Amino acid sequence: MQVSGRLRLLMIVFAGAFAAVEARLVHLQFRTREFWQKEALEARTDVRTVNAARGDLLDCWGRPLAVSRPQHTLSFAYGPFRQNTPIGQIRAASRILGLLPAYRDGSPSVAGILASPLEWSRLVLERSESDLAALPSQLRRDFGFYVRRLLGLSETQYTKAKNERGGPNLPLFTITGEDRDAVLARVVDAVVAQRAALAELARTAEQTEDVLVARVDEEITTLEGEVQRALDLGGIQPGAKQEALIRRDLEYRARELFRDVEFSAVFAVNLAPDVYAGFEVHDEERRFYPPETEDICPILIGKVNDPPEFLVKQTEERRARLLQLQSLPPEQMDQDTVLEIDRLRSMIRETDYLPDEEMGGLGLEALLESQLRGKRGWRYVETDSSGQDQTLLSSEPPLRGANVRLTLDSRLQAAAERVLAKKNWPGAIVLIDPTDGAIRAMATWPCPTRKQLREDYAELTKDPRAPLFHRVYQSPKNPPAPGSVFKIVTTAAALEAHTIGTGHVFECERSITRGRTTLNCLFHHGPLPLDVAFQKSCNVYYYKLGEAVGIEPIVAMAKRLGMGRSTGFGDPKFLELPDPSTSLREIDCAIRLTSTEKKSITNTMRSAIGQATFDDTTPLQIAAMIAPFANGGNVVRPYLIDIIGDTKAPREAPKSAGLSRSTIDTIAHAMTLVCEQGGTAGPDPNELRDLRPYRVSGKTGTAQVAKSDGTLDKTHAWFAGIVPHDAPKLLFAVFLENIGEHGGDVAAPLFNRLLEQPEMLEFLDMDPVAPPADPPNGPKKSPSKDSKSKSGAPRDPRKER
């Protein structure tokens, strides 16, 4: 009975034990079931973002200025590197040693190990177990791991050999039973072999080995900093188990080293995983500027860079906020919270910038950021325990950014830049379509190359020549005055107000005095009719004309011709874009006229020749201002962005300036005279200038520049007009900053050089003309001078030869 009772007791005990397991099953599979299901889902699923390719920037012919293309990016993860490569093993082992006071002085950088592999190998391999006794067990084990891998032993061999040899005071290299020098030579050889492999890898990135090693060291330093911060946050001692976890998380994160490495790197890294452990090459859509067009006005096209710190921080804040909201108990989850969670989640997933994402940082890349960027996609995947994707649960494909077509003609632009660069004069050339204001070229000088922009941006901002200002619509100093080019406006105002007829004569006495002010002309011209005064740019004629017309009609005319307001070609508001801080912001071109200035007769006179009241303009405005005289009387507003995606960018339709036919004809004709014999831009072999074969009409200008202290600086030179004048294809403005010469002497010849460029000739459908400097002895007698007709009939440029 007693024993039977004891058997029963045993059975009851077992029944109780099994019932406890059963109760545990109930707890797990019913009471906390949802929790475990959630944990399971979290463990096996992952959201992977897929970056969208940036939209292309194209010129008006569809030639690529900036495109997206897959690039091979070389990245580095420290974890596999330290485990599998000799340099990594030495580095990791010396880091552990560095925790001991006796070995604290060593700073184990990869560069340092490469510089003296023998010393570092000895430091690691000549340690004995008793040297390490002060370390936590985890670190001792890690150290043993690296030594074992360095010696090329399996775990079994190592443990066995370690247990069989003499004692804890023997150096670790004795484990293999080989001679000390043999062991060290073997390890050093392995380091040298890896060094050669790294040099090879550096070559695929077009870098030297030193640069690659320096980058690797930089990333390791960053990593150690991150580890330290995480340890401080958790209050974790070095060597604690948690450290290993934190390290594992951070060390296996791939960090970008170089972009756009050669394809051969893919092979190298995959075929020799032992020396290249830790290095990865992966494909990514990256911004690429085709070599043919990469140096086309980089400050206008812009560049991409990593998102600024504050955006990254903002994402972190959003992430924290999302976590907070998601953790709210169900009873506090109201409608607003749910909406906010959705909003935050989609922002983090789709719109927030990733730390290594490309973001437009300058020029059009910045202005059109929201169009070009596209939308990031994501893939919600189920992975296995090693992180390999197994099943795609749901996904949102990335949305490629819109392609943007500009009105710019990259070949004309290149020609204009070439001409400016050759002279190396600070200035600008702008070419505009006369019918609707499409900007075909806008060249500025000095202009950085793309390489300079990428690598020396900080220096460029400090450069006294102000290469980051685009002189077509910006000015590093005060905006330039138009000078005599403005006489077009004064003439138009006078003719429209019927102050004078087309044949009206004023006399030029070289100077004119009003009150205490004397204003001068360049020459003593004598009595002049309007068209000759315009052709020779006689100041006294225009002082008198201005005096006769008065300031208000001139201001009104200037406004009618589109001056006094920014052209708005890159205005985010006008383009219905969000307003990024952009290098496309135009300077303010307001017409400022105070009431005292209004009453001042000398101010009116000076305003008539494009100084005083009208001294804030840009080459872009001047070129646009000429449009009515080329297209039959319409004012155009310049624009640069033609098509975004497949919709036309907003633009202002040309509208009539309300000028009479005769006014337009008179001024157009006067502008052709400027380029004829006797005009300020007339043929002159000394100035290497003969614009007649190209049928150019225009107006020169020489603007006085006042320094801030009131003294005069070197003058600006202008030349603006129409080409060809009989069938206008382009409006142009050439502006040379502080050149100290007359517009006809420098700006017009410069434009002559531009016309000689094959791209320009092709665009204008003209034949090349021999440079006018051909006869060195004296001006060439042009036969066309006699056949010059007032009607401005087209002349065959071929006759000129």
Sites of contact with other proteins (CB under 8 A): 1-4, 6-7, 9-11, 14-15, 17-18, 20-22, 24-26, 28-30, 32-33, 35-37, 39-40, 43-44, 155-156, 159, 233-235, 240-242, 244-245, 320, 323-324, 326-329, 332, 382-386, 390
Q: How many residues does the chain have?
A: 801
The CB-of-392 to other proteins minimum distance in angstroms stands at 14
DSSP for 452-467, written as a single string = HHHH-HHHHHH-TT-T
* CB 88 to other proteins: min, Å: 23
Which among 493, 489, 494, 525 has a CA at the least distance from the CA of 508? Answer: 525
Q: What is the dihedral of CA 237, 243, 246, 248, to 10 degrees?
A: 160
Residue type, position 486, single letter: F
- In the complex with other proteins, which residue's Cβ is closer, 327 or 791? 327
Q: Which residues contact 321 (CB under 8 A, 6 or more apart)?
A: 344
Among candidate residues 176, 167, 178, 190, the one with its CA nearest the CA of residue 121: 190
**Phi-psi domain of 235 (left: phi exceeds 0; alpha: psi -120 through 50; beta: other):** left
Tokens of 157: 């061999």
- Which of 44, 423 has the CB closer to other proteins? 44
Our CB check for other proteins shows the closer of 327 and 647 to be 327
Closest CA to 426 of 461, 463, 454: 463
Shortest spacing between CB 29 and other proteins, in angstroms:
4
Please state the closest distance from residue 231 (CB atom) to other proteins, in A: 10
Residue number with CB closer to other proteins (330 or 776): 330
- For residue 31, the minimal CB distance to other proteins (Å) is 9
Q: How far apart are CA 301 and CA 293, in angstroms?
A: 10
In the complex with other proteins, the residue whose CB is nearer, 249 or 579, is: 249
> What is the smallest separation between the CB atom of 233 and other proteins, expressed in angstroms?
6
Question: Which residue lies nearer to other proteins by CB, 144 or 698?
Answer: 144
Which residues make Cβ contacts (< 8 Å) with residue 438, sequence separation at least 6? 60, 407, 432, 638, 639, 640, 642
Rank residues 384 and 579 by Cβ distance to other proteins and give the closer one: 384
Residue 316 Cβ, how far from other proteins at the closest point, in Å?
10
Q: Name the token pair of 268.
A: 């190298």
Largest CA distance in the chain: 148
Instruction: Please say which residue, 155 or 762, places its beta carbon nearer to other proteins.
Output: 155
- As measured in angstroms, the least distance from the Cβ of 46 to other proteins is 12
**Whether 525 contacts 689, CB under 8 Å:** no
Nearest to 77 by CA among 270, 214, 278: 278
Nearer to other proteins, 1 or 271 (CB): 1
Half-sphere exposure of 175 (CA within 13 A, CB side): 28
Q: Classify the C-alpha dihedral 517-523-526-531 as positive or negative.
A: negative
- Beta strand pairing call for 255-258 and 64-76: antiparallel
Shorter beta-carbon distance to other proteins: residue 4 or 647: 4
Closer to other proteins by Cβ: residue 317 or 709: 317
The distance of closest approach from Cβ of residue 234 to other proteins in the complex, given in angstroms and rounded to an integer, is 5
Phi and psi torsions of 359, nearest 5°? -135, 135
DSSP letter for each residue of 336-404: HHHHHHHHHHHIIIIISPPTT--EE-SHHHHHTHHHHS-B-EEEEEEE-TTS-EEEEEEEE--BPPPPE
Cβ atoms 32, 380 nearer than 8 A: no
- Distance of closest approach, residue 110 Cβ to other proteins, in angstroms: 29
Least distance (Å) between residue 309 CB and other proteins: 19
Question: Which residue lies nearer to other proteins by CB, 185 or 325?
Answer: 325
What is the spatial distance between Cα 372 and Cα 285, in angstroms, rounded to a whole number? Answer: 13
- CB-based contact 530:491 (threshold 8 Å): yes
Compute the half-sphere exposure of residue 401: CA atoms within 13 Å on the CB side of its CA: 29
Name the minimum Å distance from CB 21 to other proteins: 5
Nearer Cβ to other proteins (10/50): 10
In Å, what is the CA distance from 313 to each residue of 307, 316, 355, 373, 610? 10, 5, 10, 20, 51
Burial (Cβ within 10 Å: 0-12, 13-18, ≥19) of residue 787: exposed
Q: Which is nearer to other proteins, 335 or 386 (CB)?
A: 386
Least spacing, CB of residue 388 vs other proteins, in Å = 9
Closer to other proteins by CB, 322 or 540: give it: 322
> Closest separation between CB of residue 328 and other proteins, Å?
5
Whichever of 10 and 770 has its CB closer to other proteins, that residue is 10
Chain centroid, CA 58 distance in Å: 15
Question: Within the chain, how many helices (H) and strands (E) appear?
Answer: 31, 23
**Residues 146, 165: Cα–Cα separation, whole Å:** 19
Identify the sign of the CA torsion 91, 96, 99, 103: negative
Closest separation in Å from C-beta 103 to other proteins: 25
Rg over alpha carbons for the chain, rounded to the nearest Å, is: 38
Query: How near is the Cβ of 142 to other proteins at its closest, in Å?
Result: 15
